[in-house]
Amino acid sequence: MKRLILLVGWTTLILVAMVYAHALWNLHVGGNTIEPYAAGAAPLQQPQSSSSRVDKLEEQLNAQARRLRKLEQVENMSRDVSRKAARGVGLIVGEYIWTDAAGRRPLRYAGFDESGGFLMDDKGREVVTFEGNGPIVTREFQGTGFLINSRYMLTSSFLLAPWYTDPLLDISENPKLFPSLRTIHAYFPGSTEPIDVKIDHSDESGEVVICILDRALKHEGTASIAETLKLRDGEPILLLGYPGGVEILISRVPDEALADLYKFGRPTIDETAKWLAKHNFVEPISMQTRVNSHTGDHIFFEAPPAGGTTGGPVLNSRGQVVGMHLAVHNARPSFNRAASLAPIAMWIKENVSN
């Protein structure tokens, strides 16, 4: 009897153990979770409906399309923006001389050395005088300007004092040499003749200069100035100008065409610019970069160091002019500074006649 009871007890114990083991198998291995055993666990997510999956996929595709459009806009910015604005961006070439206080006698070179160069003193400076019949000391300068309508051009303050780095500049209390502008010409893409430029006036800061052209130009490339500055650091921008001036333009001319330019010797910068315009070789260079930082009045960015871009427009991806190139950093020539035009957009409108 005792054996029978013991056998029934062991059989019952084995059956209970088998049932409990099966439940644990389903819970941890089979994946059939039972709520009482899942205390504290995250609730199971209900399977998404067909429509919600489609909506989520569509949202991802739209986000990807926006990213692709933005990348394409940045990649095509140089081509699309410069194509529309380039015709209104001109090369500025000018000359100035030095005179006495009365403005009657121009400064002249004292003579030539044995090699045909101008005479120099023992410190390597040009020997100049108001006396004699030597060639007049003539300086040439270059820069960039851009149309704001058919008769008015905007450029930077370099045009007010292109002699500020000239070694002959006399900044003493009683100077004996006085600079005098002789000519200012602008050469625009599509125009085969130089255009005389007259300085009108500058803004209060003295950084932006409005100029008047001696004849109207019917160009589609007149600037659209952004009246509000909505720039972000890292935003793509485009600088249009003439880095290196006529020397860079000449480098793009086919060799067989240069024989005509130099057939009468080495021309002046202005003569070279006239030849380039006559043969339709005047075209600004576009330099795509990004905003490094900006303030209410200035925009800072990196660009290859090259003279000649001063006064060039800085455009955003929509083709609006947001700034005008002013200068490069002395110690870091690739670091550029531009004037923000939004703060003076109204001043420009008020001082320009249509």
Q: pLDDT by residue (tens digit) across 182-234?
A: 999 999 999 999 999 999 999 999 999 999 999 998 766 787 898 887 888 89
Q: pLDDT by residue (tens digit) across 88-138?
A: 999 999 999 999 999 999 999 998 888 888 888 888 888 999 987 889 999
pLDDT at position 318 is 87
**Per DSSP, what are the bridge partners of residue 138?**
97
Tell which wins on pLDDT, 86 or 64. Answer: 86
Indicate the average pLDDT of the chain.
83
Tell which wins on pLDDT, 275 or 13. Answer: 275
For residue 34, what pLDDT band results from cuts at 50, 70 and 90?
very low
Query: What are the structural domains of the chain?
Result: 75-111+125-350 (2.40.10.120)
R_g of the chain, CA atoms, integer Å: 37
* 121 residue type, one letter: D
pLDDT at position 73 is 57
CA distance 248 to 270: 14
User: Whole-model pTM?
Assistant: 0.77
Q: Confirm if 337 and 299 have CB atoms less than 8 A apart.
A: yes
For residue 59, what pLDDT band results from cuts at 50, 70 and 90?
confident
Q: Tell me the helices (H) and strands (E) count for the chain, helix number first.
A: 6, 14
Q: Confirm if 319 and 240 have CB atoms less than 8 A apart.
A: no
CA distance 267 to 273: 10
Nearest to 206 by CA among 156, 142, 144: 156
